Amino acid sequence: MEPKELCKLAVEAMGHAYVPYSGYKVGAALLCADGTVYQGCNIENASFSPTVCAERTAFFKAVYDGRRDFTAIAICGGRDGVITGAFPPCGVCRQVMREFCEDDFILYFVTADGYEAHTLAEVLPYSFSAKTHMK
Ligand code: THU
């Protein structure tokens, strides 16, 4: 799947966000090796800490379905769903990516006029994982 198409699915997912507290809508589209896409949005809570990010919504939907073969994720976000620039994932979401993805997993950050691409190795170097630390 073309990165542009994956980015479009992230934008579509952003429309599902439940954000009565921050107003920041976030969407994610997670691509599997066979072309299947899992979409996610952020879901907030009055108690704040139960809030889940869009990226983890997508990952957990996919993992529940037995998926492990992830190649890329597109992410977008902005106040009231208006994309003004890249909306990079929080550290917790990066760590979840590390659990299931290799260094060459690609992250597309949707921008106002396109996207930027990064690898997981770039955005989470020198990190903890079962593969490297729990042998
Ligand atoms: N958020 C995400 O969905 N993904 C991230 O990686 C960063 C933050 C959400 C959580 C909260 O609902 C809103 O953005 C503002 O922090």
Instruction: Tell me which residue has its CA closest to atom 2 in ligand 1.
Output: 53
The answer to whether residue 2 is catalytic is no
Q: Is residue 132's pLDDT more than 90?
A: no
Enter the DSSP assignment of 122: H
Write the CB contacts of 94 (distance below 8 Å, at least 6 apart in sequence): 120, 123, 124, 127
The confidence band for 62, taking pLDDT boundaries of 50, 70 and 90, is very high
Any atom of ligand 1 within 6 Å of the Cβ of 59: no
- Asked whether residue 133 carries a pLDDT value surpassing 90, the answer given is no
What's the mean per-residue pLDDT of the chain? Answer: 97
Pocket of ligand 1 contains residue 107 by CB under 6 Å: no
- d(Cα 8, Cα 100) in Å, to the nearest integer? 23
Phi, psi of 20 (to 5 degrees): -70, -10
